[in-house]
Amino acid sequence: MSDPATKKTTTHVGGEPCGFIIQMENGFKIYHMGDTGIFGDMKLIADYYKPDLVLVPIGGHFVMDPQDAAYATKEWLKPKFAIPIHYGTFPVLKGTPQEYVAALGQTTVKVFPINPGDKLEF
């Protein structure tokens, strides 16, 4: 981005990366992984919080690619449901839900590749 005052290209940090565990009143737990790469504490998050649903970034480049996301989902997190996020919004985020599902292989995780505006009930 160009700084209008200096006319130089600058980078503005958007804040520290983080994810969120959200527990609904009925006990249903969501892990919104945010913008992240694969990291070992995902196993701790799974063991401690046991999320039912993960919102998992799959685009690659800034976030996990479909293969890393599938590994984290299947081997560590083991949720009932997954919604792929952070892909396809601009060229470097090349990962697709189809690649994610293929990388998951045989699993009991139900994947919902939803579109903006879609609604789901769990």
User: In the chain, what percentage of residues exceed pLDDT 90?
Assistant: 79
pLDDT, tens digit, for every residue of 95-107? 999 999 999 999 9
Residue 114 has pLDDT above 80, yes or no: yes
Q: Quote the pLDDT of residue 71.
A: 98
Check the CA dihedral 33-38-40-46 and report its sign.
Answer: positive
First to last CA, the chain: 40
Instruction: Output the pTM of the full model.
Output: 0.86
Residue 14 has pLDDT above 90, yes or no: no
Residue 44 DSSP SS3: helix
Q: Which long-range contacts (CB under 8 A, 24 or more apart) does 46-51 make?
A: 46/76, 46/77, 46/78, 49/21, 51/21, 51/77, 51/79
Q: Quote the pLDDT of residue 1.
A: 64
Instruction: Give the mean model confidence (pLDDT) for residues 73-95.
Output: 95
In terms of CATH, what superfamily is 20-111?
A: Ribonuclease Z/Hydroxyacylglutathione hydrolase-like (3.60.15.10)
